[in-house]
Amino acid sequence: MVKKEHSWSGLKSIIAVTATREVDEKITEETRYFISSLSANDPNKLEHAVRAHWAIENNLHWVLDLAFDEDSNRTRKGYSASNLAVIRHMALNLIKAEETAKVGVKTKRMMAGWDNDYLLKILGVI
């Protein structure tokens, strides 16, 4: 059990953001909570931090969907969906780290499928 005095050291604010979404005239609301080490005295800074967090999340999702067609994956049994997501994240990190080819992630992935030497370069073997 974690002692309460050590939990979330540096915590200065708790942020609640309610998002409203409308699709085909159906309106849904979802509240997300964030903990932060930022002072609650500057709401603009808190808003910027939350937006920056979601910009990173949305960008990652966009890249994974574009390069790996992640949204089409219908794996549901057991931990298979989580396991495949971890593998896709690892593959994305390896592909992004390879800098000799000045092309996008999707093209690098295709190149690795066509060229075993390039695949080994991505994997850091050669």
pLDDT for 86-112, tens place per residue?
999 999 999 999 999 999 999 999 999
Phi, psi of 43 (to 5 degrees): -60, -30
Average pLDDT over residues 16-29: 91
CA distance 69 to 74: 11
Tell me whether residue 86 is exposed, middle or buried, using C-beta atoms within 10 angstroms of its C-beta: 0 to 12, 13 to 18, 19 or more.
exposed
Give the 3-state secondary structure of residue 27. Answer: strand
pTM over 0.75: no
Q: Long-range pairs for 55-64 at CB < 8 Å and ≥24 separation?
A: 63/92, 63/105, 64/88, 64/89, 64/92
